[in-house]
Protein backbone atom coordinates (compact mmCIF):
# COMPACT_ATOMS: atom_id res chain seq x y z
CA UNK A 1 0.00 0.00 0.00
CA UNK A 2 1.27 3.44 -0.87
CA UNK A 3 1.41 6.05 1.82
CA UNK A 4 -1.08 8.81 0.97
CA UNK A 5 1.49 11.58 1.24
CA UNK A 6 3.32 9.99 -1.69
CA UNK A 7 0.27 9.47 -3.89
CA UNK A 8 -0.41 12.17 -6.46
CA UNK A 9 -4.15 12.72 -7.00
CA UNK A 10 -4.21 15.63 -9.42
CA UNK A 11 -1.85 18.02 -11.15
CA UNK A 12 -2.77 21.59 -12.02
CA UNK A 13 -0.47 23.12 -14.59
CA UNK A 14 -2.29 25.62 -16.79
CA UNK A 15 -0.62 26.40 -20.09
CA UNK A 16 1.74 29.33 -19.69
CA UNK A 17 1.82 29.08 -15.90
CA UNK A 18 5.13 29.32 -14.06
CA UNK A 19 3.85 27.47 -11.00
CA UNK A 20 2.15 24.07 -10.96
CA UNK A 21 0.20 22.50 -8.12
CA UNK A 22 -0.15 18.89 -7.06
CA UNK A 23 -2.96 17.57 -4.88
CA UNK A 24 -1.66 14.74 -2.72
CA UNK A 25 -3.84 11.94 -1.36
CA UNK A 26 -3.28 13.10 2.23
CA UNK A 27 -4.96 16.42 1.39
CA UNK A 28 -1.74 18.42 0.99
CA UNK A 29 -1.68 21.00 -1.79
CA UNK A 30 1.85 21.05 -3.19
CA UNK A 31 3.23 24.22 -4.79
CA UNK A 32 5.88 23.89 -7.49
CA UNK A 33 7.43 26.93 -9.13
CA UNK A 34 8.81 25.72 -12.45
CA UNK A 35 12.20 27.18 -11.64
CA UNK A 36 12.46 24.63 -8.82
CA UNK A 37 11.10 21.75 -10.91
CA UNK A 38 13.44 22.40 -13.80
CA UNK A 39 16.40 23.39 -11.63
CA UNK A 40 16.14 20.14 -9.72
CA UNK A 41 15.56 17.97 -12.80
CA UNK A 42 16.93 14.56 -11.75
CA UNK A 43 17.88 13.30 -15.24
CA UNK A 44 21.44 12.29 -16.09
CA UNK A 45 21.63 15.04 -18.71
CA UNK A 46 21.13 17.70 -16.04
CA UNK A 47 22.86 15.95 -13.15
CA UNK A 48 25.50 13.63 -14.52
CA UNK A 49 25.68 10.50 -12.42
CA UNK A 50 26.23 12.01 -9.02
CA UNK A 51 24.28 10.61 -6.11
CA UNK A 52 22.84 13.98 -5.15
CA UNK A 53 20.75 16.39 -7.13
CA UNK A 54 22.10 19.90 -7.53
CA UNK A 55 20.09 22.97 -8.39
CA UNK A 56 20.95 23.96 -11.96
CA UNK A 57 19.59 27.43 -12.54
CA UNK A 58 17.29 27.27 -15.57
CA UNK A 59 17.00 30.00 -18.15
CA UNK A 60 13.68 31.71 -18.77
CA UNK A 61 12.84 29.70 -21.86
CA UNK A 62 13.26 26.48 -19.89
CA UNK A 63 10.39 27.23 -17.52
CA UNK A 64 7.35 26.41 -19.65
CA UNK A 65 5.82 22.97 -19.27
CA UNK A 66 4.09 21.31 -22.18
CA UNK A 67 2.83 18.17 -20.50
CA UNK A 68 3.00 16.08 -17.34
CA UNK A 69 2.40 12.34 -17.51
CA UNK A 70 2.29 9.71 -14.79
CA UNK A 71 4.98 7.02 -14.84
CA UNK A 72 3.59 3.83 -13.33
CA UNK A 73 2.09 4.77 -10.00
CA UNK A 74 5.23 6.22 -8.47
CA UNK A 75 6.42 9.17 -10.53
CA UNK A 76 5.66 11.95 -13.01
CA UNK A 77 7.48 12.65 -16.27
CA UNK A 78 7.76 16.35 -17.08
CA UNK A 79 7.75 17.44 -20.71
CA UNK A 80 9.21 20.91 -21.09
CA UNK A 81 8.44 23.19 -23.96
CA UNK A 82 12.09 23.30 -25.07
CA UNK A 83 11.97 19.54 -25.73
CA UNK A 84 13.57 18.36 -22.49
CA UNK A 85 11.67 15.33 -21.19
CA UNK A 86 14.10 12.91 -19.57
CA UNK A 87 13.40 13.87 -15.97
CA UNK A 88 11.38 11.32 -14.01
CA UNK A 89 10.28 12.79 -10.68
CA UNK A 90 9.30 10.19 -8.09
CA UNK A 91 6.40 11.12 -5.87
CA UNK A 92 8.72 11.03 -2.87
CA UNK A 93 11.08 13.41 -4.59
CA UNK A 94 8.24 15.73 -5.61
CA UNK A 95 6.94 15.76 -2.09
CA UNK A 96 10.40 16.82 -0.90
CA UNK A 97 10.48 19.59 -3.53
CA UNK A 98 7.22 21.16 -2.35
CA UNK A 99 7.52 24.92 -2.00
CA UNK A 100 4.45 25.67 0.09
CA UNK A 101 5.30 27.75 3.15
CA UNK A 102 5.09 24.76 5.44
CA UNK A 103 7.38 22.43 3.44
CA UNK A 104 9.87 25.02 2.21
CA UNK A 105 10.93 25.92 5.74
CA UNK A 106 14.05 23.94 6.56
CA UNK A 107 14.20 22.32 3.11
CA UNK A 108 17.51 22.39 1.18
CA UNK A 109 15.51 23.86 -1.70
CA UNK A 110 15.04 27.09 0.25
CA UNK A 111 18.74 27.82 -0.26
CA UNK A 112 19.05 25.92 -3.56
CA UNK A 113 21.11 23.26 -1.81
CA UNK A 114 21.58 19.65 -2.91
CA UNK A 115 18.72 17.17 -2.66
CA UNK A 116 19.03 13.44 -2.08
CA UNK A 117 17.95 11.08 -4.85
CA UNK A 118 14.65 9.63 -3.60
* Interface residues toward Zn ion, by CB under 5 A: 41, 43, 45-46, 87, 98, 100, 103
| Shorter beta-carbon distance to Zn ion: residue 37 or 41 | 41
| Shorter beta-carbon distance to Zn ion: residue 10 or 100 | 100
Q: Distances in Å between the alpha carbon of 45 and those of 26, 41, 81, 115? A: 33, 9, 16, 16
Taking the complex as a whole, how short is the minimal distance between the CB of residue 15 and Zn ion, in angstroms? 21
Task: Give yes or no for a contact between 65 and 84, defined as CB atoms under 8 angstroms apart.
Answer: no
Residues near 75 by beta carbon (within 8 Å), at least 6 away in sequence: 88, 89, 90, 91, 93
Taking the complex as a whole, how short is the minimal distance between the CB of residue 83 and Zn ion, in angstroms? 11
Taking the complex as a whole, how short is the minimal distance between the CB of residue 85 and Zn ion, in angstroms? 9
| Shorter beta-carbon distance to Zn ion: residue 103 or 114 | 103
Taking the complex as a whole, how short is the minimal distance between the CB of residue 46 and Zn ion, in angstroms? 3
| Shorter beta-carbon distance to Zn ion: residue 74 or 79 | 79
Amino acid sequence: MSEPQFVCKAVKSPRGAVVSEIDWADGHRGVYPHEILRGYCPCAGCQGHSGEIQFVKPSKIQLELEDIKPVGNYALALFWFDGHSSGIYSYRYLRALCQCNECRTGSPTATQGVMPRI
